[in-house]
Amino acid sequence: MPVKNRFAELQAEITEWRRDFHEHPEILFETHRTSAIVAEKLEAFGCDEVVTGIGRTGVVGVIKGKATGSGKVIGLRADMDALPIHEATGLGYASKTDGAMHACGHDGHTAMLLGAAKYLSETRNFDGTVVVIFQPAEEGGGGGKEMCDDGMMERWGIQEVYGMHNWPGKPTGSFAIRPGAFFAATDQFDIVFEGKGGHAAKPHETVDTTVMAAQAVLALQTITSRNADPVDQIVVSVTSFETSSKAFNVIPQTVHLKGTVRTMSNTMRDLAEKRIKEICTGIGATFGGTADIKYHRGYPVMVNSEEQTEFAAEVAKSISGQCDDAPLVMGGEDFAFMLEERPGAYILVGNGDTAMVHHPEYNFNDEAIPAGCSWWAEIVEKRMPAA
């Protein structure tokens, strides 16, 4: 079936919600205004239960079907937070908060899930319970983990969980998904090389940390080219090179490198951490200095469950006519924490020919709203069909 007629009727209203969220972006766990509006709307829709403060500022709404004899409970998750980016769209509803904008479309995700919640509360044409999950701090804060750590899955007996993200460059309202590893694990490293600073005209009297760090930047690339199996996905990127002196004639005492590692398996993740430490420790010793290495594990690999992915794709096909095979994504997604707790699937919905996410000219495409809302609703009605 195509998009549900009810969402065509609701599109203008859902668009108003989305643009209001866009105009008032909130970062990480500071989604106080957004969370309050979400909770207020869920109450107004007639949800059976609305709970705030899950994972600090997360909101959970519970909607029971006309029957609940199946005992099935499905979770649907949207993220609410914005990014610390100065908006450059020039839109009439552009961000009113300097240095913050919805540059990843979480305003659209939140609005679409609210639209689905309104519809499901009105119709309740399913046998079971749906738990709508509105999560803060996806952009680096690990809000999904905090909601899980607060016992969300156990408290509401969630058995499966589904997520969605808009995707620029893909036709508006179309879908793409893949089973298994989908989004990468996202780790960070801090490396401080220490030597002996001194006058740049007397390098023989120093232990030059810039040479150590320069060697390390190049040597770390051999993790991908010479340590990892060529068929495995791994990215090692040094993104910051900061010396303790900015002078032209000083060899600095320390150099601080920062960077990120992206992997698609725990094997590659372990390899990257091990080799970064070995390479940098060795380089420091080779040049007579030391290396202090801190490796920070971030979001895990996001892995779609086989059965739920096949089901999610069939639902998508019923709405748009097809569901494409999605590419591997080396970006991270903290829905991974929820998929570690329960089986489920994460899907991409097309945002059309727009700027890419995390760009100051990005904007969520409101024309994707009916398809996104329909997918949420059909997940519930097809997975928990009414008798």
Q: Are 78 and 137 in contact (CB under 8 A)?
A: no
pLDDT tens string 328-377? 999 999 999 999 999 999 999 999 999 999 999 999 999 999 999 999 99
Torsion sign (Cα): 39, 44, 45, 48: positive
Strand-by-strand arrangement of the 254-263 sheet: 234-243, 254-263, 185-194, 290-299
d(CA 346, CA 336): 9
pLDDT confidence of residue 4: 79
130: exposed, middle or buried (Cβ count in 10 Å: 0-12, 13-18, 19+):
buried
* Contacts of residue 167, Cβ cutoff 8 Å, sequence gap at least 6: 176, 348, 349, 350, 351
Q: Where are the domains of the chain?
A: 5-183+302-383, 185-296
Show binding-site residues for Mn(2+): 104, 106, 139, 165, 358
As a whole number of angstroms, the distance between CA 72 and CA 379 comes to: 12
Burial readout 221-231 (b: 16 or more C-beta within 10 A, e: otherwise)? eebbeebbeee
Half-sphere exposure of 117 (CA within 13 A, CB side): 33
pLDDT for the residue 193? 98
Return the pLDDT at 384: 98
CATH architecture of 5-183+302-383: 3-Layer(aba) Sandwich (3.40)
**135 token code pair:** 């999560």
pLDDT recorded at residue 260:
98
For domain 185-296, the question of CATH label 3.20.20.80 is answered with: no
pLDDT number for residue 1? 47
User: In the block, which residue shows the tokens 């002996």?
Assistant: 196
Binding-site residue numbers are 104, 106, 139, 165, 358
State how far the Cα of 263 lies from the Cα of 371, in Å rounded to an integer.
Answer: 31
Q: What is the DSSP string of 8-48?
A: HHHHHHHHHHHHHHHHS--BTT--HHHHHHHHHHHHHHT-S
pTM confidence score: 0.95
Two tokens at 179?
């089973």
- What is the CB neighbour count within 10 angstroms for residue 69? 9
- Contact between 381 and 187 under an 8 Å Cβ cutoff? The reply is no
Distance CA 219, CA 213 (A): 10
Half-sphere exposure of 195 (CA within 13 A, CB side): 28
Radius of gyration of the chain, Cα coordinates, nearest whole angstrom: 24
Q: How many CB atoms lie within 10 A of CB 96?
A: 11
Give the model's pLDDT for residue 3.
Answer: 72
Q: How far apart are CA 283 and CA 215, in angstroms?
A: 7
pLDDT at 41: 98
For the chain (387 residues), the mean pLDDT of every run of 10, in chain order, is 82 98 98 98 98 98 98 98 98 97 98 98 98 98 98 98 98 98 98 98 98 98 97 97 97 98 97 98 98 98 98 97 96 98 98 98 98 97 96
